[in-house]
Amino acid sequence: MPSYKLQTEHDSNPYRQTNEEPEHGPFFMIFCVYIPVIFLVFFVRAVMLYTGYAIIHLRVVDGLVARGTHYILGLLQ
């Protein structure tokens, strides 16, 4: 009697066959990526301001950004 074998997809990457990860939606990106990165940036900036030691040299590389920053700071005075 003939037996029926289910067709399976063959992949050259063995990791993908055994460890499939579920697809993540937009809430995963917002709560697990964007918000932690924003907190990390604020934390690094706060440490740099508190200690007076810059671990990252902040430079304005775009003239438009420099003019915009100057304009905004002028409005705040």
CA distance 2 to 18: 29
| pLDDT tops 70 at residue 66 | no
Confidence at residue 43, expressed as pLDDT on a 0 to 100 scale = 84
Q: How many domains does the chain have?
A: 1
The answer to whether position 3 is within a domain reads no
The answer to whether position 63 is within a domain reads yes
Where residue 60 falls among pLDDT bands split at 50, 70, 90? very low
Whole-structure pTM value: 0.45
The answer to whether position 13 is within a domain reads no
Q: Closest by alpha carbon to 11, among 22, 2, 19, 23?
A: 19
The answer to whether position 10 is within a domain reads no
- Domain interval for residue 33: 24-76
The answer to whether position 51 is within a domain reads yes
Mean of pLDDT values over 34-42: 86
